[in-house]
Chains A and B, each alone.
Chain A
Amino acid sequence: MPEIKVTPLGAGQDVGRSCILVSIGGKNIMLDCGMHMGYNDDRRFPDFSYIIQNGRLTDFLDCVIISHFHLDHCGALPYMSEMVGYDGPIYMTHPTKAICPILLEDFRKITVDKKGETNFFTSQMIKDCMKKVVPLNLHQTVQVDDELEIKAYYAGHVLGAAMVHIKVGSESVVYTGDYNMTPDRHLGAAWIDKCRPDILISESTYATTIRDSKRCRERDFLKKVHETIERGGKVLIPVFALGRAQELCILLETFWERMNLKAPIYFSTGLTEKANHYYKLFITWTNQKIRKTFVQRNMFEFKHIKAFDRSYADNPGPMVVFATPGMLHAGQSLQIFKKWAGNEKNMVIMPGYCVQGTIGHKILNGQRKLEVEGRATLDVKLQVEYMSFSAHADAKGIMQLIRMAEPRNMLLVHGEAVKMEFLKGKIEQEFSIDCYMPANGETATVTTNPSVPVDISLNLLKREMALGGSLPDPKKPRSMHGTLIMKDNSLKLVSSEQALKELGLNEHQLRFTCRVQLQDPHSDSDTLHRIYTHLKSVLKGYTTQHLPDGTVIVESIVIKVSSTPEDANTKVILLSWSYQDEDLGSFLSALLKKGLPSGLC
């Protein structure tokens, strides 16, 4: 049976890294290549030994597809392509291609320079890896080779995030990456057409939650900022250049305007230019509202948000500053942090995940005394707030996506099977489709039912339609006889005679004969007549005839009666039928073996 195999790579039940292998129609595809941020050793990389014990992956993979720039989806890419070895194409959207290397380089710097690790990819490896990237546009079908094609769909979640549709022949798979079904201030919601893939693969990390609304999270953020400003404190928001920063700026601008607030908001120099540059490049990836405003004015010319100068950090009074880098591991955000950490009126709001080893990670774990250069300790007295604005789909989102795409099967990765029996039941009940939940390292095999298009010859069609009398019932399958000829890439169904002619062969006739003994105290011709009556009552819908030459005919089956020489009452019924009527012939012989019912005239 044709089948598609899906294996999430990784060990045990750990979540936090995406790397999924799909085998479809003879092609092998790697979906995402993420780094597990919780480990410091080789466990953070996906386990490629599943594909091949030693050696390069090029021959075993037809392509690699990356859904978006988050490190748990692309963090291990340079390791895979340059250290393990892969030279084939790596597909990702344009924004992902632009932003990925920046994040990877940042990450590399922290890991190698700050933590001094050695088994890690280098800057050059990142560059070499990105040279293998082939960028994708939304809704554009790309032929990876003669048989494999892929298409990207909008996923929301972060700038450039995509869901991917993969097709080989008539089998297809959709991988969602991370997606979001509700639009927010700068991104739209995920969308896909009714592509009816054989499998829809989705993360299930948040499948057992019901998400609090985005606005409530924003409200929390605004409340914290406002409270700090009101008591005269300063708010530091360390951000990465793109994505979250813009969203929060738009939010604060709206808030400041509404509340008529006067405290200054600053945006780190360099951030503005970079952001502007990227947003101009990728404006089609933002939501409609942003696109509209962008036309009217430069998106980052906010009324209340100004460019930061490092001397402002010493100014008295309340202020809000957005500064890079996002994990407080170096640069301007760290400098400002050091200045403001000692005052309990101040606040730092971390809007995202921080890698181990960074100051961000330490303070989020409650550390209140930090070691800084020169063996000095820094007392962390300011308020630390961790807020997650990341948009992920919950159970409701998964159900919505299934409704949109109408897959034949559902596959959930990164969830614990016992915790998801209810969701599995929900999906099976509402959509009547199977739901698979392979653990990491486990392969889920999904049988597919690909349609095989075959041309039927007109003669054969006409002949079959003439048989069986009344019009065929579209709900009842009927078996027919024909010969399938496969020539080059075409499949043709023709009548046996035509096939024999084309192949220059002679047709053989197959006839079966069977003898059934029967006790019947009548003359041969009477017995035959009794048999005729019996069959006529049993075989309704078949042509049963009693011919004057002493035979009974049912379709092509011939029945004759003779008596044994020893006993005139012991009859021998001879049945003979052609191969085409084998079923009916077997049925008749079994029927007659039971004898004739009494009461026949």
Chain B
Amino acid sequence: MEETEFADVLDEWFIETLKTYKDLYVYQLENPTQVIEWTSEKRNSLSKSEILELHLPQRLFAQEIKGLCTERDFKVVRGGFTDGPVCCLVHVPGTRCAVTNDGLTSDLQVWDLGSDDRVTDVIRRTGGIRGSRNVAGSGSRIAAQPSSQPQVLHGAWSSDVQLSNVTSGQTLYKLAGPTSADPLTSLQFVSNCVFLASCCNGNIYIADTRTSAAPQLSPPLQSSPCDSVLWWADASSGLEPCCCRVIRLSSSGHATVSDLRNQKEAVSQAQLNIKTRCCCLNHVRVSWAPALDNCVAVSGFDGAVQIYNTSCWGTALLEAQPLFQHCGHAIALRSNDVPVCITSHVWHPERPRTLLSAASDGSVHVWDWVDS
């Protein structure tokens, strides 16, 4: 595509967005990031072989004086260098501490994000947590406990999930029981002590860090004919475990919503319109909106982030159309360009329709879409 055509296509899309987005911010990083994580509701971190703590643009927040606020840039509050890539990054709530994993081993690195007294703007490594020695070659998932205990849950396989103290590295809990070692796609706390370990074969283990009892196993609701189907899951947070819902998504686009306490039945399901364009599915993410009822975001199959409203789904398996699609990352592809894939997305914790998304070409977007 010639330079002018490329410019025209971009222009077209931007003009379209006047109606479809309330706010849109587009950034280009030097290197793509696989991780976006909140450290406070105004700041988040990105990383590849650098960790950056960024302050969101002021203009996004300013209410009455929005017109007079011209700041549209991310402010790099702090930065740090890592020895290897960063595949997983979790901020320990209530602290200025972050934990990362490089995707190559199961060891974790612990970082000090620094304080606001501005002595320096460098994020420094303060230590590490040893992962399980049994398994190598795959990265760990990490989850931080919601209460501000400096503890993280981590593991690469269902057989080696453990809770460790961030400062001492001491193991406080180990997931008992599961004999099979399934690779994990996510670890997530649904309350202070109850967590979900989701495996890529569709198994979900629900356990409590207070007991050493075996976890509850929940296999996928419909066994798929094909063994190579992968699964991802997310549990809605912020509510009591009794109202917590779990959404599962398979690589063939089958999505099911179920109640955390009753995983045997699907409350609703749908066949999502997913076309895999990415060469690998390492970055698939499905997440519930923290401030928009029943909505989920799906990304990682191609260059778009899709928003679905699950309240329209029924018990029969029917095709569902997304409520909204953010295609900005892949909008103008030149003929010999590698297809762009979304590597990460997060919802803003408070603003109902604001998301941040990052893609394999280094772009990062902050967007607030309009509900038509």
Contacts and interface: CB of A to CB of B under 8 A. Distances in A.
Contacts of B18: 219, 222-223, 226
Contacts of B69: 386
B68 A384 contact: yes
B14 to A, nearest CB: 5
A211 B67 contact: no
Interface in B1-49: 4, 10-12, 14-15, 17-18, 24-30
Given A366-B68, A422-B76, A219 B17 contact: yes
B121 A419 contact: yes
A396 interface: yes
A425 interface: yes
Given A223-B18, A386-B70, A426-B79, A396 B29 contact: yes
A254 B121 CA distance: 43
Contacts of A218: 14
Contacts of A384: 67-68
B128 interface: no
B208 to A, nearest CB: 40
Nearest to A207: B76
A89 B362 CA distance: 46
B210 to A, nearest CB: 40
A213 B11 CA distance: 12
B72 A216 contact: yes
A222 B30 CA distance: 28
Interface in B291-326: none
A383 B68 CA distance: 10
Interface string A249-270: 0000011001100000000000
Contacts, number: 104
A148 B231 CA distance: 68
A505 B66 CA distance: 85
A125 interface: no
B57 interface: yes
Contacts of B28: 210, 213, 396
A215 B10 contact: yes
A209 B118 contact: no
Contacts of A418: 118-121
A429 B49 CA distance: 12
Nearest to A206: B73
B50 A255 contact: no
Given A210-B54, A216-B24, A366 B65 contact: yes
Contacts of B173: none
Nearest to B24: A216
Contacts of B79: 422-423, 425-426
Interface of A: 206, 208-213, 215-220, 222-223, 226, 254-255, 258-259, 289, 364-366, 383-388, 394-396, 399, 418-423, 425-426, 429
25 contacts: A209-B75, A211-B27, A212-B25, A212-B57, A212-B73, A213-B28, A215-B14, A216-B25, A219-B14, A219-B15, A220-B72, A255-B15, A258-B11, A258-B15, A259-B15, A366-B68, A386-B70, A388-B72, A418-B119, A418-B121, A419-B121, A420-B121, A422-B80, A422-B121, A426-B81
Interface of B: 4, 10-12, 14-15, 17-18, 24-30, 50, 54, 57, 65, 67-70, 72-81, 118-123, 364
